[in-house]
Amino acid sequence: MKQFFAKGMVLITVIFMDLLTGMEFDLFVPSFPQLQNHFNLSPFWVEASLSVNFMGYCLSLFLVGGLADRHGRKPIILLGLISFIIGSFLCVFSFFYELLLLGRFLQGIGIAAPAILSFLIIADAYSLKEQQFLMAMLNGLINIAVAISPVLGSYLTLYFHWQGNFIALLLLGLITLMMTIFFIPFRALPLNDAMLPGGGYMSIVKSKPLMLLIINILFISVPYWIFVGMSPLLYIRDLSVSLAHFGYYQGILAFVFAIGSVFFGLAIKEANFNQKKMLVFSLKILIISLIIIVWVTLLDSVNALIITLAFLPFIISQIIPSVILYPLSLNFLLHVKARVSAVIQGARLILTALALQIAGYFYQKSFKSIGVVLICFMVIAVITLFFIIKNRELMEWEEK
């Protein structure tokens, strides 16, 4: 009973880390107009509060990965949460905007640790199949958190002004810190990478099967962020979708992914679960989704509902690979788990930023230019998933 309680509290703590990670970026966005008025800011300086947060996150990311593989997960997560709490405190009590920017920078530095290490707490303690089940459940939870964050942030801003969102993040950070202190154990690392030749980031690059996994994870996930990043321009400005209705178009994507992840997680618990067959099924859906996107792109549809429905099969095709392949990538080289997580998270951010810049540069006030960028990413996702399924080492991989 005591062991069951301990495991349960570890999982709840990981959930709080993921909630904090999911809400850190989106929660305070609805307070932008109040920030602009309160500090008399130009749009450029309002957006700077996102940019400095992103910079802090990127600077911290790869350092966190190396430190966590050498010194364990808990100490690094604690340092990250302390940095995040200090940054949140500065944001709440900012009397001038430069102090708020410093707070956002510290929040970005601090959030990197729970963002890339929270799932490793599970990966260090559970079998691969259990990790995949828990990954599915967490995917569902995180996407629900992402979907409700702007709504929650709007109400917090309405009743508690722009400081309300930062107070919420400060309190959530403090709760997560306390739970981490009391419920996350100090666990010995699987191997000491300092004693292994090539145990750093180069060992990831040298592993062809692992790089195949990472490339697929990146190219199957980034199209979602391209679509989400470009859809406000397309839907609201050029397809005349009202702001009130726009939230439904975006929310349905996160909702479908969340519900699908939960149902697939339950399927993993079945005794006859076969990951290769599930990946083949996912590949078929991915190919169908690619054909649909090509069709809508060629038609250059101006119907927001048709465009959204056309993108939904791709959202469904993401579910199975994200649940199966991410835990597999973390377990492939046991001594560099945190570095693998850092590479995936960092590369995803950089690739998303580059893809959005390309999509924005070629945007012609229609879906066609966005669709072409999506198609390029989806083709690579199809090819890499095909080779993953054909790779015997990956499909027959057993926990070491």
Whether residue 40 is contained in a domain is answered as yes
Whether residue 382 is contained in a domain is answered as yes
Specify which of 155-159, 260-264, 294-298 reaches the highest per-range mean pLDDT: 294-298
Assess whether 320 and 183 both reside in one domain. no
Assess whether 62 and 182 both reside in one domain. yes
CA distances from 188 to 66, 75, 98, 177 (A): 16, 12, 41, 21
What is the number of domains present in the chain? 2
Residue 300 in contact with residue 367, Cβ under 8 Å? yes
pLDDT higher than 70, residue 43: no
For CA atoms 149, 155, 161, 164, give the dihedral sign: negative
- Taking residues 327-351, report their average pLDDT: 87
Whether residue 361 is contained in a domain is answered as yes
Whether residue 399 is contained in a domain is answered as no
Q: Packing angle between helix 337-362 and helix 97-123, nearest 10 degrees?
A: 130
pLDDT digits (tens, 9 = 90+) for 63-116: 898 888 888 889 999 999 999 999 999 998 888 888 989 999 999 999 999 988
> 267-276 long-range contacts, Cβ below 8 Å, gap at least 24?
268/129, 268/132, 268/133, 268/136, 268/323, 269/133, 273/129, 275/132, 275/324, 275/395, 276/389, 276/395
Query: Which one-letter DSSP state was computed for residue 186?
Result: P
pLDDT higher than 90, residue 385: yes
Assess whether 183 and 207 both reside in one domain. no
pLDDT digits (tens, 9 = 90+) for 61-70: 888 988 888 8
Assess whether 103 and 248 both reside in one domain. no
Assess whether 214 and 248 both reside in one domain. yes
Q: What is the percent of the chain where pLDDT is above 70?
A: 86
Question: In which domain, by residue range, is 263 found?
Answer: 201-394
Collect all residues with Cβ–Cβ distance below 8 Å to 9 and sequence separation of at least 6: 179, 182, 183
How far apart are the C-alpha atoms of 107 and 165, rounded to whole Å?
A: 13
Output the domain CATH number for residue 319: 1.20.1250.20
pLDDT higher than 70, residue 243: no
pLDDT higher than 70, residue 151: no
- Taking residues 343-364, report their average pLDDT: 84
Assess whether 118 and 262 both reside in one domain. no
Q: Work out the pLDDT band at 398, boundaries 50, 70, 90.
A: low
| Residue 284 pLDDT | 96
How far apart are the C-alpha atoms of 365 and 121, rounded to whole Å?
A: 45
Whether residue 193 is contained in a domain is answered as no
| Residue 195 pLDDT | 42
| Residue 147 pLDDT | 65
pLDDT digits (tens, 9 = 90+) for 176-186: 999 999 988 87
Stated pTM of the model: 0.83
Assess whether 376 and 332 both reside in one domain. yes
More confidently predicted of 243 and 187: 187
Whether residue 19 is contained in a domain is answered as yes
| Residue 29 pLDDT | 59
- Least trusted range by pLDDT, from 126-135, 207-216, 286-295: 126-135
Q: What is the percent of the chain where pLDDT is above 90?
A: 30
| Residue 148 pLDDT | 67
Assess whether 157 and 53 both reside in one domain. yes
- Taking residues 291-305, report their average pLDDT: 91
Q: Work out the pLDDT band at 215, boundaries 50, 70, 90.
A: very high
Assess whether 259 and 352 both reside in one domain. yes
pLDDT digits (tens, 9 = 90+) for 355-371: 877 887 788 888 898 89
Q: Work out the pLDDT band at 262, boundaries 50, 70, 90.
A: confident
How far apart are the C-alpha atoms of 144 and 257, rounded to whole Å?
A: 9
**Mean pLDDT taken over the chain:** 83
Assess whether 165 and 62 both reside in one domain. yes
Q: Work out the pLDDT band at 279, boundaries 50, 70, 90.
A: very high
Assess whether 18 and 98 both reside in one domain. yes
| Residue 389 pLDDT | 94
Whether residue 195 is contained in a domain is answered as no
Assess whether 166 and 307 both reside in one domain. no
Whether residue 240 is contained in a domain is answered as yes
| Residue 197 pLDDT | 44
| Residue 244 pLDDT | 61
